[in-house]
Amino acid sequence: MMTLRWLDMLVIALYFVGVAWIGFRFSRRQTTTEAYFVASRSIPHWAMGLSIFATLISSITFIAYPGAAYKENWNLLVPGFMAVGVLLVVGTTLIAFFRHAVGMSAYEYFERRFGYGARAYSALAFTAGHFSKMGFVLFTITTAICGMTGWDKYQVIVGVGFVTVFFTLIGGLEAVIWTEVLQGIVKLAGVVVVIGVLLAIMPGGAGAAFQLAAERQKFSLGSFDLNLSQNGNFWVMLLYGSFWYLQKYAADQTLVQRYLVAKNDREALKGTALGAVLCVPAWTAFMLVGTLLWAYYELSGEVLPPHLLDDKGKVIADRVFPFFLTTKIPAGLAGIFMAALMSAAMSTMASDLNCLSVVGVEDYYRKLRPNSNDKERLLLGKFIVGVCGAIAVGIGAFIAWRGESALKLYYAVTAILSAGLAGMFLLAFLSSRANKQGLWIGIVVALLFTAWAVLSSPVTKGSNIILNLHDYNYTWPSVMIGVGAHVIVLVVGWIASYGFPAPSPITHSMTMWGWLEKRKTLPLDKK
């Protein structure tokens, strides 16, 4: 454990003052839901892009990516390629479509296509998944920060959570986006600092590290065999990334809401592209950190302490990076990295809080109170931010108290509930014949498949199986569960739709084919 010097504390203090000031700066503008939820649709594309980048680079990335590269290779980087790949395929159509098809919530589209039940289900699936994520990203930062400072883990969780809730509640999405601009810059500075330190202290220099890593195939992206049942297979991870980012771009409120804040369709596309392009080199940098960590301890011959080893004497990879930060980062630079780590948790949490507020107000409250006025909805939106923030802090503290295993069952439940959102979108967008009866049959089959796969396989690597069916357990890679659910909703929903009457011809306008026809008639200032 190291003691932070005054310069480190100053960096951290300036960072917190900066995000709080941004919250105050934009608080006076939050007088309508249009301002609070979509920033009055006035954000420049470069700020929108940095916001997307900051949202996607979470505190989990800070720990998981270096840990994966230290333990094995760069296979975990493969899904990230599809952040750009999927955008190249669907970006020009999808982003503009959402800007014209919905008001504030991504799930409005499912109601217009399949009825309110589909909207309520998709909004619930989004909510369940993001609640668990917020608590976990808060917990993740305690490993490194408390190891470096000796601070109490509960105080770190509550402190970071309080500041995040504060600027999100008073400043709305506009404050979230502009703090994420700051946070994106801080994150880049943090990873550059760590790579710089590693290269500076590397025995034999950078050349020795890269040569050893190449010899041990530490830069490998995985096996290229066409075997989708193989863990760590390049094609498995690429397929997983394709559906993951399709779901992010098409059925995740955090990204769809970013499309809506831009001034026009072109600005929205440029901002989304900027965010995706920034993420890939950032993820690569975190993988490089893990590889350089491995090379450093191999070349230096330093013996890792017992608390970094499991019962079999093997290194617990996720713990090495925090240990390195604790023992090797010079005072003065530690504050930059800690600010970066805090910003990683805060940007993800702030974005989720505002999105959950939109979902609560737009997808549920307006249905219960259709005659409510905008002032009431704005007040409720702020209330939801406060309540959800408090719950997220509680989840983070609960994980810190009981350990990560305490949430294994919860993760299993949320994985089941969130099954098939990308498949829902594909069914709605690509097929004019698809109807709500077919969709629900597809959803039920996907839920059954996901429940079987999740419950009959380890929730996390090395954990016990919740429902052991022996010869009938799910044995494929866990990342293929989501892929299977999306495909099931799409295929089963499409086939089942033919057993029921065709939907109204008006639904054609809500498909890709109808949108392409409509887009030709839009005036230039709307594109």
List, in order of start, the domains of the chain with CATH numbers.
Answer: 6-402 (1.20.1730.10), 405-527 (no CATH)
Tens of pLDDT, residue by residue over 335-355, are 777 888 888 888 888 999 999
Tens of pLDDT, residue by residue over 455-464, are 888 755 555 6
For residue 360, what is the DSSP state? Answer: I
For residue 233, what is the DSSP state? Answer: B
Tokens of 130: 């993001």
At residue 292, the pLDDT reads 96
Tokens of 115: 């009825």
* Distance in angstroms (rounded) separating the CA atoms of residues 221 and 214: 12
Half-sphere exposure of 346 (CA within 13 A, CB side): 35
The neighbour count for residue 184, using CB atoms within 10 Å, is 27
At residue 81, the pLDDT reads 92
Burial of 403 (0-12, 13-18, 19+ CB in 10 A): exposed
Tens of pLDDT, residue by residue over 21-63, are 888 888 888 899 999 999 999 999 999 999 999 888 887 788 8
Cα distances (Å, whole numbers) of residue 139 to 63, 358, 475? 11, 25, 30
> Which residues of the chain fall short of a pLDDT of 50?
1-2, 405-414
* Distance in angstroms (rounded) separating the CA atoms of residues 128 and 408: 14
